[in-house]
């Protein structure tokens, strides 16, 4: 029964924030590289990331570094966090509704536990992708941003991504 809950949760939560805010495009619709923030946001929030999202960010070069550095060092902007929280609250409500008609799919977490767990995963993934993009872009500014991040109290997953990305840049 717990496996059914986990699988159901993965399916429901796996719906990207793009569902709530389609202005950032989808895997198949990457904005023109002139819109730096949107190109970066598509990379940060892609689901399968098989549509060239990282390469689109790399193509931006140094223009992307300040935004990625901020994401890595400070985490997602308040507006992004608020949108994700709203999305997760809606998903939790959907899980609770589904449970009413499917007795084998029990929701075992409180709303606060559910939202807290997935908000942490969201922020971690955003920071990891920012680090990966900085490593792929390279250059002195990206190297400096990664070096600065190494001085911060980061989760083990983010720290690993920062170290791996930093190792790709000479100097």
Report the pLDDT value the prediction gives residue 129, as an integer from 0 to 100: 98
- Residue 48 pLDDT greater than 90, yes or no: yes
- Residue 171 pLDDT greater than 80, yes or no: no
More confident of the two residues 16 and 72: 72
Report the pLDDT value the prediction gives residue 17, as an integer from 0 to 100: 36
The pLDDT of 32-36, averaged and rounded, is: 63
Average pLDDT of every residue of the chain? 84
126 band by pLDDT with thresholds 50, 70 and 90: very high
CA distance 168 to 41: 23
- Residue 79 pLDDT greater than 60, yes or no: yes
Locate all alpha helices (DSSP H) within the chain, ordered by sequence: 2-13, 36-45, 53-60, 65-74, 78-101, 111-137, 140-149, 156-167
């Amino acid at each position: 029964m717990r496996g059914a809950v986990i699988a159901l949760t993965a399916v429901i939560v796996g719906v990207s924030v793009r569902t709530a805010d389609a202005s950032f495009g989808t895997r198949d619709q990457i904005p023109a590289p002139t819109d730096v923030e949107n190109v970066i946001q598509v990379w940060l929030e892609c689901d399968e990331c098989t549509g060239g999202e990282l390469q689109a960010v790399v193509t931006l070069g140094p223009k992307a570094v300040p935004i990625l550095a901020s994401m890595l060092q400070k985490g997602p902007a308040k507006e992004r966090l608020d949108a994700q929280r709203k999305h997760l609250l809606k998903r939790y409500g959907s899980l609770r509704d589904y449970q009413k008609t499917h007795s084998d799919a029990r929701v075992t977490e409180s709303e606060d536990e559910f939202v807290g767990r997935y908000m942490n995963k969201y922020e971690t993934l955003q920071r990891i992708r920012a680090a990966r993009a900085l490593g792929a872009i390279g250059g002195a500014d990206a190297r400096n941003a990664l070096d600065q991040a190494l001085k911060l109290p980061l989760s083990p997953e983010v720290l690993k991504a920062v170290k791996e990305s930093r190792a790709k840049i000479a100097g």
